[in-house]
Amino acid sequence: MRLLLSLLLLSYLAAASLSAPTNQVRWCVKSDKEYRKCLDLVTKAPVFSCVKKDNSLACIEAIKEGEADAITLDGGDIYIAGLENYKLHPIIAEHYGDSSEGCYYAVAVVKKGSGFGIRDLRHKRSCHTGLKKSAGWNMPIGTLLQLGIMQWEGIDDSTIEDAVGKFFSSSCAPGAQRNSSLCRNCKGDCSRSHDEPYYDYGGAFQCLVDDAGDVAFVKHLTVPVEEKAKYELLCKDNSRAAIDDYEKCNLARVPAHAVVTRQDKDLANLIWDSLMGVQGFELFSSKAYAPDKNLMFKDSTKKLVLLPNNTDSVVYLGLQYMDIVRSLNKEITPSKSKAMTWCAVGHEETKKCDTWSLNSLAKKKDKIACESAPSVEECLKMIMRKEADAMAVDGGQVYVAGLCGLVPAMVEQYDKEKCSIPDADASSYYAVAVVKKGSGVTWANLRQKKSCHTGYGRNAGWNMPMGKIHNETRDCDFTKFFSSGCAPGAPAGSPFCSQCVGDGKDVDNTAKCKPSTEELYYGYAGAFRCLVEGAGDVAFIKHTIVEENSDGKAEGWAKDIKSSDYELICPEQSGSVPITEFESCHMGITPAHAVVTRPETRDDVVSVLLNQQSVFGRDVSNSIFTMFESKPYKNLLFKDSTKCLQEVPKGTDFKSFLKTNYMATMTSLRECGNTVTDLEKLCTFHTCQ
């Protein structure tokens, strides 16, 4: 019996070692020709091995189960790979040359002289790269629905495949049901692999060439140079254009294909290093395997680009792409209850949000649900993924949210009189530099002092002062300017974490420098406390903070503070001035905090918040909960100085909301790569949308 158990254990360990090798990259391929290319690669780079599956989904499942490690996928498959069932991540993107910026155009190609426009496609024959692929399915079908050319009532009426099958007279859409009209014009088995001759870009174009279809939905680089004169593009305005006019005449601009794998940093590094180490083999050519094209990688690829750490499918594809894919899968359904999920940062914000949620139920108002995350950036990711709907952030965070495709829906108003004026100007506030009275600290001698910041990348606490300092010094290394400081959220090990204190209770001090209320020096009041308690020589905060936390207006650490013990220092003046002179002594005027959300949920978020503040707003009598109070804490969920929330005009993007001067400051500061947050890097890796 003991021998049998030993043999079983050895068998299990052997199987485990085979399923998860630590020194090999098992590439998943989908056809015999692709398998041949992969085997040829192995002869030049033995670090690779090959795993053959029937299609992309089978490869995705194999990677998830640890039977394979990597595959290059298009956007539609990247979306599927990122779903909860699989949790794969894009790690490396194809790049198609300087002009494409890591993106490509989805286009509709037709024969010159065939005499119809995009609005005449009903009952025509169509050629698709593959079911649920980007250029061949998601973008064209999504465009036809958005333009009202094709009708679909949703999954309760029919599947999207059925709707497309009824719209076109016949098609080749590899991967569709083989007995459907979507497979009728295919040349082979209609499989979503190179075993079907009309699969992928080259196959869909060949379908058009062979007169098996009237239109081919492909990428902009598909038509061979020598054939371009015979073909044209269909434009969304119902006109036609030459093949090379794809920048003006296209269906969408979408992210490049990308290599996906499991969420394993060591594996990702191995895949990247292995690909970079390939010598004597053309990764981006399929000529040796003609007529098949785009084997393992697209033949138009010029190079591979490593994606920032923690890139997921939602961030990589972008909200516009995700919106189209979700609509084709009918993930977005009309909300009848107008429930809204708020994202809270840290323990205390989550407690306040839970109280809000319970009171909204008691008042039988729109349901408020709560999710939490350790930082604003993680909350923004949750909103992008539809795991939450909204949160209030400062201008610097509105900037990052906007780069990620989110929009400002409502703005905090700090002037009570303007709450009754529907089109009142949005609030703003002054970013100021506060020092202790008599300290001798001035703007001119700030160098090598200790600094207190509301948070890394935040408005008054980071962007405004560091923007000023960068303009003066042209040096992006701010650790050379300040000796140390506390800027919660700064990179681990940074001198801007050394003066932070954490929560004051945690033995391991894991809360130190966290960008949440768990760090006592986080936020406006926290940065002021950092100055008060001697951890810094200057605090970069909002102009009202000293007044709000002194002269008996605050409890706890601030109850004995006198506002007269503090002064402002001015970038354009020597010396210091009283804190009341902020209008003439400040670093800049910054936009008020705003509620951000996804574009498609903007109207519901506005409706819910207007309803909520009618019950839990500042001036509502006998309310057991107030949205804009955080006692005994400060500025939880909203700033405590908020008098009301006002709607941001519909259609306002983040650039219009932040205005020209603020955008100029942010642009200047972006010259310093070390000040760009991880999320901003993810959202600006490509500019496809």
* Opening angle at CA 646, ends 641 and 647, nearest 5: 150
Ranges of beta strands (E only) in 407-462 are 407-413, 428-436, 450-453
pLDDT classification of 98: cutoffs 50, 70, 90: low
CB 68 within 8 A of CB 28: yes
Q: Which helix (H) or strand (E) holds 163?
A: helix 160-167
Edge-to-edge order in the sheet of strand 71-73: 71-73, 258-261, 89-95, 303-306
Q: What is the pLDDT of residue 19?
A: 45
Position 162: which residue type?
Answer: D
CB 523 within 8 A of CB 635: yes
Stated pTM of the model: 0.80
3-class DSSP state for residue 255?
A: strand
Question: Cis omega before residue 291 (within 30°)?
Answer: yes
Ranges of beta strands (E only) in 30-124 are 48-52, 71-73, 89-95, 103-111
Determine the average pLDDT of the residues in 452-461: 93
- Tens-place pLDDT, residues 61-92: 999 999 999 999 999 999 999 998 999 999 99
- Rounded CA separation 176/198 (Å): 13
3-class DSSP state for residue 563?
A: helix
Q: What is the mean pLDDT of the chain?
A: 91
3-class DSSP state for residue 566?
A: strand
Q: What is the pLDDT of residue 423?
A: 78
Q: What is the pLDDT of residue 465?
A: 95
pLDDT classification of 573: cutoffs 50, 70, 90: confident
Q: Is the pLDDT of residue 100 over 80?
A: no
Question: Cis omega before residue 632 (within 30°)?
Answer: yes
- Rounded CA separation 572/586 (Å): 9
- Rounded CA separation 350/648 (Å): 26
- Rounded CA separation 189/388 (Å): 42
Determine the average pLDDT of the residues in 512-528: 94
Q: Is the pLDDT of residue 649 over 80?
A: yes
Determine the average pLDDT of the residues in 120-145: 96
CA distances from 85 to 64, 72, 566 (A): 9, 19, 56
Percent of the chain as helix, strand, coil, to the nearest 5: 35, 20, 45
CB 453 within 8 A of CB 607: no
- Tens-place pLDDT, residues 188-217: 999 998 889 999 999 999 999 999 999 999
Q: What is the pLDDT of residue 5?
A: 44
CA distances from 380 to 310, 374, 384, 452, 479 (A): 14, 11, 6, 25, 28
Q: Is the pLDDT of residue 236 over 50?
A: yes
List, in sequence order, the alpha helices (H) in 474-541: 523-532
- Rounded CA separation 682/324 (Å): 20
pLDDT classification of 186: cutoffs 50, 70, 90: very high
Q: What is the pLDDT of residue 427?
A: 86
- Rounded CA separation 22/396 (Å): 42
